[in-house]
Structure 1
Amino acid sequence: MTILLALNWKMNKTPTEARSWAQELGEKYAQVEGVELAVMAPALDLSALSANLPAGVAFGGQDVSEHESGAYTGEVSAAMLKDAGAGYVVVGHSERREYHAETDAQVAAKARQAQKNGLIPIVCVGEKLEVREKSEHVPFTLAQLAGSLEGVGTDVVIAYEPVWAIGTGKTATADDAEELAAAIRNALKQQYGEKAAGIRVLYGGSVKPDNIAEICGKPNVNGALVGGASLKVPDVLGMQDALK
């Protein structure tokens, strides 16, 4: 299965900066067999990425409306992202769930909209520190997953992101990542049957060039949702090279 490095810029990079980043990547990029890069960027950056990313590098949005179209000021529809050239979109990121009070039902609605319009949703799930400290991280995450996949088809990516390891410098161990990835894989098999074997499960949370190989070396981890390390081209290439 191809490893996916989904590079989540969050609210960083103007269109001018995105263009420069893409051009720098193009000067140094060489595709690694079995590894896919995809840049998850602010909507205003997508045009610059479309025009400047090297061949073979995908891109997508960081959020999408649960609505097809209409009077939803400030929202970005799945059709708009698709028309801009996006192939992916992140839904249910922990920051959206926390700061915008997004529910599992809303995440599932966004994922369905994405799929309806030909996008692959990257559905994020994961626990906060207090949940892990109570050893409730597995049932919590699987319940979140079930709610977030209601009515969602198999053309999907799952990203497990322990909230306590995002942007904190703390990283779940490779064994921690595998524990949840394996549990997620089993839940996917129960929901989708044999087709679950083709669904990629990513780990997200302070992923860097020096830890990505160990994490992605686990049998049920098929890539990473990368935050801070996605902002600098040398770090991205370092992660890619670590997976050769």
Structure 2
Amino acid sequence: MSARVSVGVSLKMYFGHAEARRWFARVAELAAGHPAVASGAVECFVIPTYLQVLPAVEAFVDTPVVVGAQDVATEDSGPFTGEVSARELAEVGVRLAEVGHAERRRLFGETEAVVAKKTAAALRNGLTPVLCLGEIERVEATDAAAEVVRQLHTALDGAPGGRVMVAYEPVWAIGAQEPAPVEHIAAVARALRAAVDALPGGDGSTVIYGGSAGPGLLAALDGAVDGLFLGRFAHDPAALATVLDEAGALAALRQEVRA
């Protein structure tokens, strides 16, 4: 387990272009002045829309903030109208690609086979997939753990080795008023951690939680996850700063344990 803690934000399609640029500027200033982010103890990543990717790369160029994409094509080039390849994303400075989010699966019919192809495309082009996994219905933690570990192995079947960021997002908790219960998240996350640690060539891989995540959750989870994947809560940079502070405290504690 790495001492580093990851905090990411997906903007989905909430911001217009000018609004996104203003948010990038504020977060760039925040990240540049945040000791844990500046030192690398906390990895901060931002995933905007495709049209906002280049302004984001520009805005964060002198900061440690990593830019990701909300999706990625299964293929590297060819007659695929409307798609954006991992090869091109890597070329312009993107380092992460969100894959398999529940909304992509539900709204656009992405199957597990498609998720596996997109995961492989990201990895073979040097991008870290932010692989979104989670059970649809609320079930016992042991059953949820078995399901998401199965999803993990299916998504990575045939993929080249490389760092993977597993985002545990129980579908029933996405957009809810509260995250899943702490005990449930911790149990599933520990099962995912064991599976991730066993991945060949997966050095640096992490397990983060998303699904109505907010302040206080990292501390409550007591090290069971390597970070959080935030949504609308982080539209306010001051709120994001609160979670970055908590992530910095967790990273410091992990460093002490390792020492």
Which residue of the partner structure matches residue 19 of structure 1?
21
Return the TM-score normalized by structure 2: 0.85
TM-superposed CA distance for 1:116, in Å, is 1.5
Alpha-carbon spacing, 1:134–1:35, altered in 2? closer, same or farther (3 Å): closer
Which residue of the partner structure matches residue 129 of structure 1?
137
C-alpha distance in structure 1 between counterparts of 2:228 and 2:73, whole Å: 24
C-alpha distance in structure 2 between counterparts of 1:20 and 1:191, whole Å: 39
Which residue of the partner structure matches residue 242 of structure 1?
246
TM-superposed CA distance for 1:176, in Å, is 1.5
Which residue of the partner structure matches residue 198 of structure 1?
204
Alpha-carbon spacing, 1:196–1:89, altered in 2? closer, same or farther (3 Å): closer
What is the percentage of aligned positions where both structures have the same residue? 33
Unaligned runs of 5+ in 2: 250-259
Which residue of the partner structure matches residue 219 of structure 2?
213
1:163 aligns with one of 149, 152, 171? 171
Alpha-carbon spacing, 1:179–1:74, altered in 2? closer, same or farther (3 Å): same
Return the TM-score normalized by structure 1: 0.90
**CA deviation vs aligned residue, 1:121-174 (integer Å, no higher than 9, x gap):** 1111101225x1696322221221111111232321111101111111131122
Alpha-carbon spacing, 1:200–1:190, altered in 2? closer, same or farther (3 Å): closer
- Alpha-carbon RMSD: 1.9
Amino acid at match of 1:211: L
Which residue of the partner structure matches residue 127 of structure 2?
119
1:41 aligns with one of 25, 41, 48? 48
C-alpha distance in structure 2 between counterparts of 1:175 and 1:46, whole Å: 36
Q: Tell me the SS of whatever aligns to 2:9.
A: strand
C-alpha distance in structure 1 between counterparts of 2:246 and 2:147, whole Å: 32
Q: Using the TM superposition, name which of 171-180 and 84-93 deviates more.
A: 171-180
TM-superposed CA distance for 1:205, in Å, is 0.8
Asked if structure 2 preserves the Cα contact closer than 8 Å seen for 1:157 and 1:200, the reply is: yes
Unaligned runs of 5+ in 1: none
Q: Using the TM superposition, name which of 224-233 and 39-48 deviates more.
A: 224-233
Asked if structure 2 preserves the Cα contact closer than 8 Å seen for 1:185 and 1:196, the reply is: no
Alpha-carbon spacing, 1:188–1:69, altered in 2? closer, same or farther (3 Å): same
TM-superposed CA distance for 1:190, in Å, is 4.2
Asked if structure 2 preserves the Cα contact closer than 8 Å seen for 1:174 and 1:214, the reply is: yes
Alpha-carbon spacing, 1:196–1:174, altered in 2? closer, same or farther (3 Å): farther
TM-superposed CA distance for 1:189, in Å, is 3.9
Amino acid at match of 1:109: K
C-alpha distance in structure 2 between counterparts of 1:213 and 1:190, whole Å: 26
**CA deviation vs aligned residue, 1:28-50 (integer Å, no higher than 9, x gap):** 33231421110011110011111
Say if 2:157 is the partner of 1:150: yes
How many residues align? The count is 239
Alpha-carbon spacing, 1:197–1:181, altered in 2? closer, same or farther (3 Å): farther
C-alpha distance in structure 1 between counterparts of 2:116 and 2:51, whole Å: 24
Which residue of the partner structure matches residue 101 of structure 2?
93
1:55 aligns with one of 39, 54, 63? 63
Q: Tell me the SS of whatever aligns to 1:4.
A: strand
